[in-house]
């Protein structure tokens, strides 16, 4: 049975221990990082070996390929991609062209990812940054107004879906007010619930129909003063599943981030108990992966159905104007000619 877990790998080759782990644990997927990529041939072999070890069709291969600062696959492995802020700049001059660019560049990226066997991208970011917040979001955001962020994030998600790549909107219910990087510590947001509903939560409510989302390691003090959203049953039940209305596949942010504390098994148990369908562990430490695996159940019931719905998105492949996509990519990047 499929475990409620997504894991990372340690390097550019699948070790014998990792192969056994994938075979025995049967995680829902593997997430790729820069440490896993040397060249095109090696990367393609690594993904083939992962798939062979698991032996299932409903196996997700994930990457963080937002563009800008957060782009795990870089030239010459993959196209250079602009940060979300570049679309925001274009939106100020021409909203329709910005949405077209967001859609077509995502569709182009989906084609590139699928050529390697990557089926899920941890994008778009729908966080709404505010003055004084930590720069961890900053240019990863599509703007500072709800309608603009929704329009551009939806266009990006639609582009990935058109190319058979499952988008993961993040970081639900909103990371934009965090004054700490959750990789390094636990952010606490003291903003009243009413304000959060009108701002931070609003983009996710508008995007609640997307097939997958990633939780935030952020404490929303007005809702649950003790636990971050990722381990809070209150936030998951009342805000993510309730107020926002997101009822599709929900995964935690990385268990190995310093926003969380305690043993790795306990962290995995906590995110599942809070209501996430899948726990995400990224750093490739096999001992930690084993501990996380001990803390998660097999996918079943509603979680299994959500997983199946997300996997079904991989079957899509809609035609698009690739030449126009390349030209828009060059324009948004400020290049003189399309990238090939």
Residue 95 confidence class, pLDDT cut points 50, 70, 90: very high
Q: What backbone torsions phi and psi does residue 14 show, to the nearest 5 degrees? A: -80, 120
Share of the chain above pLDDT 90, in %: 93
Whose CA is closest to 140, among 127, 130, 152?
127
Class of domain 3-333: alpha beta
Share of the chain above pLDDT 70, in %: 98
Q: Which of 253, 254, 277, 281 is catalytic?
A: 253
Handedness of CA 278, 279, 282, 283 (dihedral sign): negative
Q: Which of 39, 52, 94, 183 is catalytic?
A: 183
Determine the Cα–Cα distance for residues 25 and 176; give it in Å rounded to an integer.
35
pLDDT digits (tens, 9 = 90+) for 28-72: 999 999 999 999 999 999 999 999 999 999 999 999 999 999 999
Is-contact 248 276, C-beta < 8 A?
Answer: no
pLDDT digits (tens, 9 = 90+) for 128-167: 999 888 888 999 999 999 999 999 999 999 999 999 999 9
Determine the Cα–Cα distance for residues 252 and 219; give it in Å rounded to an integer.
14
Active site residue 183: yes
Q: What is the pTM of this model?
A: 0.96
pLDDT for 122 beyond 60: yes
Domain residue spans of the chain: 3-333
Quick one: pLDDT at residue 337? 43
Active site residue 16: no
Determine the Cα–Cα distance for residues 340 and 328; give it in Å rounded to an integer.
13
């Amino acid at each position: 049975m499929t475990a409620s877990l997504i894991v990372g790998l340690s390097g550019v080759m699948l070790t014998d221990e990792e192969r056994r782990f994938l075979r025995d644990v049967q995680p829902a997927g593997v997430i790729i990082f820069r440490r896993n990529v040397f060249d095109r041939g090696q990367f393609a072999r690594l993904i083939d070996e992962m798939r062979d070890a698991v032996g299932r069709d409903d196996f997700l291969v994930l990457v963080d390929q937002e563009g800008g600062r957060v782009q795990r696959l870089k030239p010459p492995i993959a196209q250079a991609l602009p940060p979300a802020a570049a679309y925001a700049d274009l939106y100020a001059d021409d909203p329709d062209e910005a949405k077209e660019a967001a859609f077509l560049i995502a569709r182009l990226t989906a084609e590139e990812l699928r050529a390697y066997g990557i089926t899920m991208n941890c994008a778009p970011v729908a966080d709404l940054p505010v003055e004084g917040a930590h720069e961890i979001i900053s240019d990863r955001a599509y703007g500072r107004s709800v309608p603009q962020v929704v329009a551009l994030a939806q266009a990006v998600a639609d582009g990935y879906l058109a190319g058979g790549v499952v988008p993961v909107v993040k970081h639900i219910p909103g990371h934009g007010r965090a004054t700490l990087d959750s990789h390094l510590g636990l952010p606490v947001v003291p903003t009243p619930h009413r304000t959060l509903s009108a701002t931070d939560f609003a983009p996710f409510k508008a995007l609640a129909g997307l097939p997958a989302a990633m939780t935030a390691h952020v404490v929303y003090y007005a809702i649950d003063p003790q636990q971050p959203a990722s381990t809070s049953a209150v936030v998951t039940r009342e805000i993510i599943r309730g107020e926002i209305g997101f009822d599709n596949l929900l995964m935690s942010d990385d268990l190995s981030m310093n926003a969380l504390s305690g043993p790795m098994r306990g962290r995995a148990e906590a995110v599942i108990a809070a209501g996430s369908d899948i726990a995400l562990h990224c750093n490739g430490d096999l001992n930690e992966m084993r501990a996380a695996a001990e803390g998660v159940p097999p996918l079943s019931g509603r979680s299994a159905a959500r997983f199946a719905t997300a996997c079904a998105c991989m079957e899509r492949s809609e035609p698009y104007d690739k030449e126009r996509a390349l030209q828009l990519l060059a324009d948004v990047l400020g290049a003189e000619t399309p990238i090939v």
